[in-house]
Amino acid sequence: MVLESTARALLHRLAVEQAEARVPSLVAALVRGGELVWFGARGRAGEGAPTAATRYRIGSITKSMVAVLVMRLRDEGLLDLLDPLDKHLPGTPVGEVSIAQLLSHTGGLTAEPPGQWWERVPGAPVAGLLGDLGPEIARHRPGRRFHYSNLGFGLLGEVVARKRGVSWERAVREEILEPLGMGATTARAAEPYARGYAVHPWADVVLPEPEHDAASMAPAGQLWCGAADLARWAAFLSGQLSGSLSGNGSRSGGDGVLRAATLAEMREPAAVEDGPAWVRGYGLGLQLLRHEGRMLAGHTGSMPGFLATVWTDAADGVGALFLANTTSGVRGTLVTDLLDILARHEPPLPAEWAPSPVDEDLLALTGPWYWGPAAYLLRVLPGRGLSLAPVGGQGRASRFVPQADGSWLGLDGYYAGEPLRVISHPGGVHISLNTFVFTREPYDRSAPIPGGVDGDGWR
């Protein structure tokens, strides 16, 4: 749990938001290290104050769960992110759009489905939705730009349903909610839940908002969730919950929902929302936000009568969220302010350093290496990993993970996905890295330097 002084500062920020934004009820929570460490509530939901179990509609946060299902299908080999939609959902006017483009909102699809404002009326079945689609739903060339599309996630939900042979909601429940301990999350309102309201702009009165089954559009924003369950989701997104799998595919605990490497892939920027010096972006089913040196991943959500947001920082293993039963008004800075308060009052402590054993063959590789005349340092990382970085910081740095064949594979930076091999030659050893040769001396003549080395040597 957080310190009393921290809790007071967090509650003050929440109370200011509820009062100034005139929100019927507002709850928020913080997670750290996979645990709920603070919960706050203001206002009333029904006859009493909301609790961590009070359900609110989470809107588009639902999309992030559908995206995890799609990535599970990819990891199981049942689809490829480069597959065109037509391969798994034939007959739409946008069959050439890829699964990855739908996940990242770069497919060029219209933002909303045909027909009435889908969030306020009963939804159409899948057959009705697909039958209403015409060429006008393609608004932009696929891959050209970020254009948020609720319709795209309606289609992805149907892809999941067809691949699994069950409804998207059942797949979410069996493959995500139950393994993560989110059993109180529901597809429709169930007690205890907050009623959704619109607040009059010029008077302190409220108007109940309608709620319907969105049917074919439900994957874009159907689910209801309490703060306790949404905190579990935040812990999962931050990589701190046991439902994730380790990078090699082995379980890190629990039933295992997604490989850690796949979750990291979802957090990688695939599109930018707001221009060259971007602050907001989108990965694969996750919104991204750059804030005070952090890279946050999560999602916002809104439906008539409800607002919600969850942001997580995988680097620090923290997350924050809020849930509100109002159509508009809550400032987007609430969640980042909560994270800032936590960081200011209780900054994270670095993990303690302790020696760890290193195999002799790896220890012999450490130290300086040269790419031509440029000096690099090779360090050993836990689990036989390697780090290759330029001396002085000018140049390309990457980390590498070991492979079964004795090589290493680039994890990040310029050499992400590229193979690194240590190769013996008559005068010693060299590193082969995607056609580049790193040697123990600058332009070592005994190594197979591409193009050779001038015979007269240094002068």
Q: What is the pLDDT of residue 394?
A: 85
Which residues in the chain come in under a pLDDT of 70? 242-255
Please name the residues in contact with 436: beta carbons below 8 A apart, sequence gap of 6 or more.
Answer: 371
56-57 and 224-225 strand pairing? antiparallel
> pLDDT tens digit string along 319-359?
999 999 999 999 999 999 999 999 999 998 888 999 989 99
The strand order across the sheet containing 287-291 reads: 35-43, 25-32, 318-324, 306-313, 294-303, 287-291, 280-282, 271-272
DSSP 123: P
* Residue 275: per-residue pLDDT: 81
Task: For residue range 353-380, list pLDDT tens digits in order.
Answer: 999 899 999 999 999 999 999 999 999 9
Could you identify the residue written with the tokens 């709620």? 211
Q: What are phi and psi of 87, to 5 degrees?
A: -70, -30
What pairs with residue 409 in β-bridges?
401, 419
Residue 243, pLDDT score: 58
Report pLDDT for 246.
Answer: 43
Amino acid 242: pLDDT: 59
**Complete DSSP assignment for 367-384:** EEEEETTEEEEEEEEGGG
Query: Any residues with CB less than 8 A from the CB of 458 and at least 6 apart, and which?
Result: none
**pLDDT (0 to 100) of residue 393:** 82
**The pairing of beta strand 408-410 with beta strand 419-425:** antiparallel
pLDDT at 54: 98
Asked whether the beta carbons of 176 and 68 are under 8 A apart, the reply is: yes
pLDDT for the residue 249 = 41
- List, as one string, the DSSP characters of 250-274: -B-STT--EEHHHHHHHTS--EESS
Give the CA angle between residues 206, 325, 148 to the nearest 5°.
115
One-letter amino acid of 5:
S
